[in-house]
Amino acid sequence: MLVAFVMHAVVLKFIFPGYYSPLYPHHSDFYIPAAFAHATHENYSFYSLLFWARPIYLIVAKCFGYFGIHGGIACIITLVFINCALSALFIKRALNLTINWKLITAYVIYCGLLFSQPTLYTFYTQDLGAHISYFFLILAAHLFYSTYKRSYILSNVLLLVCSLLAFLSKETYGLTALFCTLLWFVYNRTNAELNDKKMPVIKGLIPFAMVSIAFVVAFIINIAIKSSFVAPNASADDPYHISLKPYSVLHELFLYLKDAYNIANIIMVVLFIYLAITNKNPKRKEILFITLACIASVGISLFPNAILPNHHYPGYSFNATYLVYLPLLFVSILSVENIVKKVMPVAIILLCLLSPLLNKDKYKDTTNWWVLFQETTQRNLLDGLKPLLKSITPSKNIHKIVVEGIDLPFMPFHYPECLRSFPTAKYATFDVVQYKGVLPWNGERNDLVKFIKPSDVNKGDYEQKWIFDKDGKFVKSVNLIAEKFNHKDSAKIQ
């Protein structure tokens, strides 16, 4: 995890976005965990969330929310580091690798490639559901691999439970898990050296059956609760409309691969495959199957997004990146008996160094620019709000505050309960001026917040006015009670 933390900081500071400030939101969704955690009503209780779509994801999000807005984002990033470490440790376990400078170097490069992926910064802290799903599945792989020789029943029960938790977090890696368990079956059926005989067909297919059962159960639960994320009958213009037309699916897959990878990455994958096929290592067969699993899983993990042509977003391409670079870890143990293979590791390292340079234009594209702009406005807004919220004094009488000037698509006021992550916020109500569009909640108060029209400002009996500019920067706070008092004194003097 330490290696992942360091490489994350290095990449963000020196490659993209050019600074290290990862704990600020760039979308209103980032305020949901804190809202769940600090809500005073039952709608966001742990029990209630069990009946929402993707319940495990929401429950974990609520747990992260107890650490506040910034702390919740820190928890997500930590989960990414954990997933990186678990992925590498699984390769180490499966191939019985020794931790040495070569393996550590390979892991450093793996993390560097992961965090310099051009769409990572746009979405990796927002797609918590995918990270949780991957965590449960890579955990399942570890648990299964460490127990199946001692207790095949226990190993499959653990696989079933972890898979169900993963698919109730998000559906992203469902097909990937099915493919990997099927590949494990093929590996055992073709590897007679394991027990001096081939594994029986039924026994070999049990892991595949466990993942299939988990996938079906999760699907049934989603249908039962009418999840908008799993909607086979969605209309053609619905964001979650499913299209299985070959051209549409292939087109979406191409776009996601184009978003995420460059020519250096493609050459690297080709070299992985070549080395996996031609190496003479005693673990040759395991290396070949792991490489096949990692490379094929790229397209398979993107497939759930590729069948949603109305919901294309470049950030989803990150879902495949945990897996695609994992073969780097076994390069350190391959024999290099000829000049061609001696050059291979050097070529791969050079391609890794070249990759961020080839992503230069993608770092500057519209999607990344939009995310960085929104992150800047949210940073401005939160840096202005935090001291103001902390300055609210506890009182039996609720402080009435009007907030002006914020004309942004995203803000913490959209999820009012998140304001309660600041202990003194509960002693105030906030009327936020909205300058265009329909007022949220039909203009009614939701917890601490109510959105009002500019013409309604003078109708309220407010104590304070907080003024921000168009970029979310705090301008000034006006004591309206003192201002009214001064106006009265001025009128008496006149």
Distance CA 457, CA 203 (A): 71
Contacts of 14 (CB under 8 A, 6+ apart): none
Distance CA 137, CA 159 (A): 8
Q: And the tokens for 358?
A: 């080839």
Per residue in 202-246, pLDDT (tens digit) is 888 999 999 999 999 999 998 888 887 877 777 888 888 889 999
pLDDT (mean) for 432-451: 94
| Coil vs helix vs strand at 433 | strand
Output the pTM of the full model: 0.93
Per residue in 144-192, pLDDT (tens digit) is 999 998 999 999 999 999 999 999 999 999 999 999 999 999 998 887 5
The answer to whether residue 492 scores a pLDDT higher than 70 is: no
Distance CA 207, CA 186 (A): 12
Contacts of 291 (CB under 8 A, 6+ apart): 272, 273, 276, 327, 330
Cα distances (angstroms) measured from residue 278 to each of 327, 332, 358, 410, 466 = 14, 15, 29, 53, 67
What is the model's pLDDT at position 488? 53
The answer to whether residue 491 scores a pLDDT higher than 60 is: no
Q: Where are the domains of the chain?
A: 2-364, 369-493
3-state secondary structure 263-288: HHHHHHHHHHHHHHHHCCCCCHHHHH
Confidence class of residue 486 from pLDDT cuts 50, 70 and 90? low
Burial class (CB in 10 A: 0-12, 13-18, 19+), 355: buried
Number of H helices, E strands in the chain: 20, 5
